[in-house]
Structure 1
Amino acid sequence: MKHPNDGYGTVERQESSDFPPAIPAATVVLLRQNHSEPEVLMLHKNQEIDFGGLWVFPGGRIDNDDFNGTSDLNIAARNAAVRETIEEAGIEIPSDDFIWFSHWTPPPREGRRYATWFFLTSTEDEHEIRVDGQEIQNHQWINPRHALQRHSSGEIDVVPPTWVTLYTLAQFASVEETLTTLKSRATRTYETHLGKDTDGARITMWAGDSGYEDWDATQSDETHRLIMSPDGFDFQHSAVEY
């Protein structure tokens, strides 16, 4: 059975050349310092639309207008991230300080899939978040560790890129530490492969995992994977430091 928290389809090995290319998209991971702990802005998607019911970061597909006279997809991604944050959360965040810290591509499959630029930034201003009540139902500023706990208890639903991003953020005690550390790292690229372990749990694997190249989750000498069992997510990453 497909795990309710991923949308990746079959665990059989698929070739990218057999499917349409992923649609370029961008998202903003917006942080603020709330007293002694960092918080991140999350939005709750309408149950009836794509990615319905999920908690996400503001973002969406890159439109033609986002190129604004340039052919540079990285610039268009920044423009899209700014635009989508205005549309979904009602706030304008300048892209000058964006940190492109990760890029995510789902496994090849039928239907729409998005190759997404993840930009990290922060705000010290008191923003009034305005959601439309249609596509976006609600919002919350939440500590990343608390978000992971809520996911573990079944209170919220997130997809693997969101979960791993929250896990990454949860390693830091402040917004300043988060920004400083992730700015010093190279952008991490996640080309997702999918498999099952010997217990039948669905597993997403990324570069560095022993089973990554062969799409074989039973190979686990070195790990960079998210195990998505019915009891919750378990991130194993002996091959990559977080």
Structure 2
Amino acid sequence: MNDGKKFDPYADLLKPDEVDPERVPPPIPAATLVLLRDGDDGVEVLMLRKTSAIRFGGMWVFPGGRVDPGDRLPGDDDTMAARRAAAREAREEAGIEVDPGEFLWFSHWTPPPITPKRFSTWFFAARAEGHHAAITVDGGEIDDHLWINPARALARHAVGEIDLVPPTWMTLQRLCARDTVTGVLEELGATPPRVYVTHLGKTPEGDRVALWAGDAGYEAWDASLPGPRHRLTMAKSGYRFEESGDLDG
């Protein structure tokens, strides 16, 4: 358990005037696997805790990491390489074997260019099989794991028991839409993968706001502009997601 304070995932942002748009390096390709199973409490998702010795230490995440050169085989496109990376990371971090061909690609995340180190991350979902019950964390980057209902994970975050970065929080929120793994996978696969290229703003109270395409303040990086909403407000009192209109098309 942490100290109850909300983690600020953007605390190390560069100032906009410190960033030369022409010299911003491309984000590092990465991949994440959202592994799902049906449990007594409904859908459960595998989450891992990062060790305190690495960046974002103590954070609860899904298995994943950067795409390595060895993840790309001849003829692979970027998405196939990301699938292989997600499968490899699941094996290395949690000791489980998964078939990348069975993964459902449902979202892609890129943080703002004022982030010192950026990962461009494919998010995949898959059903856990019976042999995935035994999880063995690597003890290096990962020091704990749990299977948890998505709504329960969000509730624990709301009271400061666990830390989550916005893409993880948003994914958990989407997983709450259905009560079974079959239903969740159908829901995630009903639309093309959602692409989130994050911009940032602030509320008058000083709370950070992640803005995405379709939000009135997205292009201007201005959370105060009136109009359609597609944002996550990261208030000290808790995260709040707002979405208006058809943002899948």
Task: Determine if the TM-score, normalized by the shorter chain, exceeds 0.5.
Answer: yes
Question: What SS is found at the alignment partner of 2:100?
Answer: coil
Cross-structure match for 1:94: 99
How many pairs align? Answer: 240
Listed as ranges, the matches of 1:1-242 within 5 Å are 4-7=7-10, 9-10=13-14, 12=16, 16-35=21-40, 37-109=42-114, 111-127=116-132, 128-240=134-246
TM, length-normalised to structure 1 = 0.93
Q: 1:222 to 1:166 in 2, by over 3 A?
A: same
Question: What SS is found at the alignment partner of 1:116?
Answer: strand
CA contact (8 A) 2:33 2:86 kept: yes
Cα distance, 1:172 vs. partner?
1.4
Amino acid at match of 1:94: D
Question: What RMSD, in angstroms, separates the aligned Cα atoms of the two structures?
Answer: 1.9
CA contact (8 A) 1:11 1:195 kept: no
Percentage of pairs with the same residue? 49
Which runs of 5 or more structure 1 residues have no equivalent in the other structure?
none
Q: 1:179 to 1:15 in 2, by over 3 A?
A: farther
Cα distance, 1:110 vs. partner?
5.2
Distance 2:226 2:207 in 1: 14
Query: Could you list the per-position Cα deviations for residues 47-71 of structure 1 after superposition, in whole angstroms to 9, with x for gaps in the alignment?
Result: 1102211000000000000002235
Question: What SS is found at the alignment partner of 1:167?
Answer: helix
Distance 2:229 2:23 in 1: 28
Distance 2:119 2:151 in 1: 26
TM, length-normalised to structure 2 = 0.91
Amino acid at match of 1:223: R
Structure 1 segments of 4+ aligned residues over 3 angstroms from their partners? 10-18, 239-242
Cα distance, 1:95 vs. partner?
1.4
CA contact (8 A) 1:39 1:143 kept: yes
Q: 1:193 to 1:6 in 2, by over 3 A?
A: same
